[in-house]
Structure formats: structure tokens, C-alpha cells
Amino acid sequence: MQHPTLLKQLRNRWKAANHGIALIMNAILLTILWIVMIGTYSVIRTMLMLFSKKQQPGSFWRNVSREPSDFRHQF
């Protein structure tokens, strides 16, 4: 009658090992999928931006006045 107990322990260890392997494989596959999808999107977006006719602003800096009253109420 010890065979069912041994088989049950073996099955539980096998399930635990498979669960651990599945966690690692999911992390690897999802990382690869994320890199491929985001990488492809960024390459396509960059190429579209290079060939677009729209001018990109050189800077987002805005000139401000140097009046002393402007320094009192900044926001």
C-alpha cells in the first residue's frame, strides 16, 4: 500500500517543478515579446518621423520676461 503514497509525492514534486519552470519560461517569453513589439513600434515610428514633412521644434524652451513683479507670483 505504499505505492500510492510514493506516487502522490512524486506527482506533487513533479507539479511543483513544472510550476517553477512555467514561471521562468513565462517571464522569458513575455520579456522577448515585449522587446520585439516595442522595438518594432519604435523603429516604425522613428522611420515615419524621419520621412514626415512636419517640422519638429528645436526646443521647448520659452522666453520669459525679467520683470521683478514676475518673480513674486511665479505660478
Q: Tens digit of pLDDT for each residue in 2-42?
A: 668 888 999 999 999 999 999 999 999 999 999 999 999 99
pLDDT confidence tier of residue 69, bands split at 50, 70 and 90: confident
Task: Collapse the DSSP code of 64 into the 3-class scheme (helix H, G, I; strand E, B; otherwise coil) and give the result.
Answer: coil
Half-sphere CA count of 30, side-chain side, radius 13 A? 6
Cα-to-chain-centroid distance, residue 17: 28
